[in-house]
Amino acid sequence: MLSTMQDIPLSLTRILEYGSSVHGQTQVITWHSANPGNEREETTFADIGARAAAFAHALHDTLGITGDERVGSLMWNCAEHLEVLFGTACKGAVFTPLNKQLMNDQIRHIINHAEVRVIVADCRLAEQLAQVLEGVDCVRAVVFTGVGKPSTALPGNVEIYSYEQLLDGRSTVYDWPVLDEHTAAALCYSTGTTGAPKGVLYSHRALYLEGMQLRSSDSLCVTHGETFLCCIPIYHVLSWGVPFAAWMTGTPLVLPDADVSPATLAKIIAATSPRVAHGVPTIWIQLFVHYLKNPPERMTLTEIFAGGSPVPPQLIKSWEERYGVDVVHVWGMAETTTVGTVARPPSGASGEARWAYRISQGRFPASLEYRVVNDGHVVNTTDRNAGEIQVRGNLVTGSYYHSPASEDGGAAHEFRGKDVEDADSKFTADGWLRTGDVGFVTEDGFLTVEDRARDVIRSGGEWIYSVQLENLIMANPVVLECAVIGYPDKQWVERPLAVTVLAADISPTIETAERLRNGMRSELPSWMLPEYWTFVKSIDKTSVGKFDKKDLRAHLAEGEYNIIRLKGPGEAQRLDAGEEDGED
């Protein structure tokens, strides 16, 4: 027996129309730090909706976008970026944000793979775009936002437009098509450190459901009237879907444009009084250090959602103790339509039990099925058995986008000299996504990620989780950042190497390394503690703010690190610095 319920498509069009009318006066602030004295640019949901309609007319009438062609963006978080997102997707085309933090050849590959026809770009990125477009034939037009057109010449026969001139005089009402809810709305690319970027096509239905889920009190609780500071870029899986939830609820948004430096974020928070924010952990580490030297007059933030890489427990503790701000750990990936788990402790949890929930990756929602697989077998989660985390659900992609351009002879059939594949191995035969994360799930559904599968250090037949070591090392107040990678060892095959950034007044000596290791002895067995250390000025990050461990391994392979070696497992005495790498 079928139900009597109506079947109305779940689409971004409904979100846009609802938010632009019911919550039309809700404010969106873009903060332009490059314009001292005139940083704050204000608009409303209604104005963004009107300009999205004008942009849709421009796509059809001037830029020749008539079907599900891809429209790219190379921009920071700003009001115009939302206009392009909504105008493109609601028209029936596919919004394809380009991550400016990637290498140029990665961006070029994405453009070719997606067969992007039009790119809307910030004029400040014109020089980068010109380099990217060398060797690209699919792009017909580039639309620059900002004042005027940049002087940088673009290769080929690409037509250049000014965004404001393109919208000027156009109708702000658009007869949006009724789209099947399974129609693709956006195409985002995962930014792994190996291989070609892989495309995930999000349906209107998935993005609608994601917006609904983010409103839940068990999720991000995007709420009417509570201003949300969006530090996750739109090119990172659509700013985690927060704009869609905001349009549903009337949540004011603050967009930091190109500058998320600690000093600028402190100004934005002081001027706009957001209650909630999201961003990668690095941002909140740097802002906390800034506040230590430049204390805020008042703190309006009550919650910070941090993800993209593991959140150090010390960061959670520091923000809570000093400012009363809850740093909430979240986990997700491009393949899961971003936010998967959220670390909100169960009602009634207190003391150490509550803390254990807070430092986990969080609880799985009903929309996301999960299992833990070890050596090819599904293990019982009630015993906290570790293994690879696998997921499936309505918000999980069932495959990566197979582009005709990736086939033999296509513009995207190769990447860095290797054939492009669809990465089918990321999915099991019975339809589960292999996340590549190793961890366990408690009986009440809370996930703890112990490491990425490729980052687990396999020492003498045992596993050492790099994230666990990083968190303990970064809990020491003399450490600013730490990334742990595997170091070749003749006896144990592999041992941990702690690549560490120290506070400015701390000497990078063997004694410092010894003190840091001794500080972990009460937390871990001695065989897990790193005997290899190197002190650096900074640690490179990936485009999503994670420690770039592929880059760290490359520096190690090139012999660029000054390795300090302490006593290892089973050794009776400490070794001095300067020994030949890998000698025991």
pLDDT in tens, 81-129: 999 999 999 999 999 999 998 889 999 999 999 999 999 999 999 999 9
Mean pLDDT, to the nearest integer, of 456-460? 79
pLDDT bin (cut points 50, 70, 90) of residue 461 is low
pLDDT bin (cut points 50, 70, 90) of residue 20 is very high
Report the C-alpha gap between 15 and 212 in whole angstroms.
Answer: 10
- pLDDT at 148 (0 to 100): 64
Sign of the alpha-carbon torsion through 76, 501, 301, 244: positive
Q: Calculate the average pLDDT of the chain.
A: 92
pLDDT in tens, 553-566: 999 999 999 999 99
Q: Where are the domains of the chain?
A: 369-450, 456-565
- What region, left, alpha or beta, does residue 371 occupy, with left being phi > 0 and alpha being psi -120 to 50 degrees? beta
**pTM of the shown model:** 0.84
- pLDDT at 413 (0 to 100): 93
pLDDT in tens, 48-75: 999 999 999 999 999 999 999 999 999 9
- pLDDT at 417 (0 to 100): 87
10 Å CB burial of residue 564 (0-12, 13-18, 19+) is: buried
10 Å CB burial of residue 207 (0-12, 13-18, 19+) is: buried
DSSP codes, 148-188: S--SPPPSTT-EEEEHHHHHTT--S--------TTSEEEEE
10 Å CB burial of residue 476 (0-12, 13-18, 19+) is: middle
Mean pLDDT, to the nearest integer, of 378-384? 82
Please determine whether the domains at 369-450 and 456-565 fall in the same fold group of CATH.
no
pLDDT in tens, 190-209: 875 557 899 999 999 999 99
Report the C-alpha gap between 531 and 496 in whole angstroms.
Answer: 7
Name 270's Cβ contacts closer than 8 Å, sequence gap at least 6.
Answer: 296, 297
Name 296's Cβ contacts closer than 8 Å, sequence gap at least 6.
Answer: 266, 269, 270, 323
Report the C-alpha gap between 449 and 436 in whole angstroms.
Answer: 10
Nearest alpha carbon to residue 482 among 492, 471, 494, 493: 471
- Residue 157 phi, psi dihedral angles, 5° rounding: -105, 35
Report the C-alpha gap between 426 and 260 in whole angstroms.
Answer: 33
Report the C-alpha gap between 182 and 177 in whole angstroms.
Answer: 14
What CATH architecture does domain 456-565 belong to?
A: 2-Layer Sandwich (3.30)
Task: Give the single-character DSSP code of 67.
Answer: S
Beta strand pairing call for 228-230 and 253-255 = parallel
Residue 568 tokens, joined: 């290892």
Whether 268 and 301 have beta carbons less than 8 Å apart is answered as: no
pLDDT bin (cut points 50, 70, 90) of residue 583 is very low
Report the C-alpha gap between 132 and 121 in whole angstroms.
Answer: 12
Mean pLDDT, to the nearest integer, of 227-245? 97
Domain 369-450 coded CATH 3.50.50.60:
no
Residue 75 tokens, joined: 């921009």
Name 511's Cβ contacts closer than 8 Å, sequence gap at least 6.
Answer: none
Q: What is the CA radius of gyration of the chain?
A: 24
